[in-house]
Structure 1
């Protein structure tokens, strides 16, 4: 029986096949943002709540309480802060979270905000068979639509990654955009095996996520390792660079993480800093994807007439 080749033994066609399966296509940044703004700001929150321990079969009251904090305390604080600053946001919510907290899900789906799919129970989608992944995403989409009355158009995979079938499933279910990958600072079109898909990617990054800095696993090696105000400095620098470039500042946070008092101060000061710039377009991820798609149409038209 032959052993599976090591990556360093792969022929060129093998590693090229893996690299080209899902790739970043053309960058989709409009020549000018709506309202003449210089920069686009897209804030997102993932209300995972109890689904993180439930996904792993952890049902102790202590672990579930960590998630419950997000629904009981953090979510309200986040929504109040956004209302105070008149800022829309996108909330990528696992379906089980929405089923546990339906009123919260409806708040997220109400103007000026947007609700998006974030899996069924924050499952590790890269470990699922194709049919299981499709079933869970379809059930998640239908559950959010039934609870909120709004059918989501965007998805963020629970693991910020794609399985071999994720992109096909996203296209089959009719999603307009994804926000899980990290190939750029700016929106781009996803390319599959060299062919444009029409799916807009709103890229994320661990730098612009509260969880890597602040999460805690009592029995594991994960520990909070950064002062909240040090994180504020990173995020301010990220925004300032996006402002200079005329691009996008995208942020991901979690109500059960950022919603604690000493951390919400950081989010408040970040919004104060951004608000001090008058030429900012605050957008949901769906609105940002629409602007990116309009830029794709402009590029197509320009190419056809050139």
Structure 2
């Protein structure tokens, strides 16, 4: 007997597409009534320490690409740490478990300097292609490795490549995580709904326009090599910050040590910090601290 053809999206019944939409969705806004010390704006800097896992996750064995990942830990992270420490600015680092095992001293040093370590998968795997049992197992083991290596139990997750599966939010809830930082439904923090019900998990939202990878990543084997000049990337980031400042909101930024760490780009990080500090009215905080503050001081109270 011939298998019936799968239904096309325009053939779906309303309950089906509503279920898809409502699985993980933005709930109440957690835009706070005020920031600490009545600062006008919050700045949350983050770094995805993918390192060698960018090549390993797809079964890659390229020595060249593995060396590019090693650059992130060998050169990128020290440059980032030096800038953050010189300006006394905390940040959040999202670390695959394999990265933590390859670079344990890096994670311990970051925690000692007051930075946050967050979950970023086991080997930077894509959650959407995993069975739920595998995703849960990898996430739990990743959290245990990060705690064992760094001495700090992670309270937040950023899914690798911001790839969020149908099961991710329910697993986060099972783990009792404070927050997620993988989704894009707002520019302020919000509570995530799981199948229409409050999950208790704070979303610290990301966005591609506030990510260095989309501007600088290129493949030399492709005919099209997208690239944005560092001065133009700074302009985008600064405009995002200035708008967040005017709104009294949150400016969240995502960077990668193996991308932003180069001599011609690392100055972008310092310039963003310098311009934010020049206002003398900004709270720099980890994503965990942003999530805690937003949850405790939100304008919209829980039902």
Q: Structure 2-normalised TM-score?
A: 0.96
For residue 299 of structure 1, give the secondary structure of its aligned residue in structure 2: coil
1:194 alignment partner in structure 2: 196
Call closer, same or farther: CA 1:224–1:258 in 2, change over 3 Å: farther
Contact 2:29 2:299 in 1 (8 A): no
- Structure 2 counterpart of 1:284, from 278, 283, 286: 286
1:181 alignment partner in structure 2: 183
- Structure 2 counterpart of 1:272, from 266, 270, 274: 274
The CA distance in 2 between the partners of 1:13 and 1:23, in whole Å, is 16
Contact 2:32 2:299 in 1 (8 A): no
Deviations 1:207-266 (A, max 9, x none): 000001111223346734100110000000000000000000000000010000010111
Call closer, same or farther: CA 1:189–1:221 in 2, change over 3 Å: farther
1:131 alignment partner in structure 2: 133
Deviations 1:62-101 (A, max 9, x none): 1101111101100000000011111100000001001000
What is the total number of aligned residue pairs between the two structures? Answer: 301
| RMSD, aligned α-carbons | 1.4
Contact 1:53 1:59 in 2 (8 A): yes
- Structure 2 counterpart of 1:236, from 229, 235, 238: 238
Contact 1:90 1:108 in 2 (8 A): no
Correspondence list, 1:195-214, <5 A = 195-214=197-216
- Structure 1 counterpart of 2:52, from 50, 53, 67: 50
Call closer, same or farther: CA 1:61–1:161 in 2, change over 3 Å: closer
The CA distance in 1 between the partners of 2:197 and 2:143, in whole Å, is 26
1:62 alignment partner in structure 2: 64
Contact 1:90 1:116 in 2 (8 A): yes
For residue 48 of structure 1, give the secondary structure of its aligned residue in structure 2: coil
How far the C-alpha of 1:286 sits from its partner, in A, is 0.5
Call closer, same or farther: CA 1:56–1:46 in 2, change over 3 Å: same
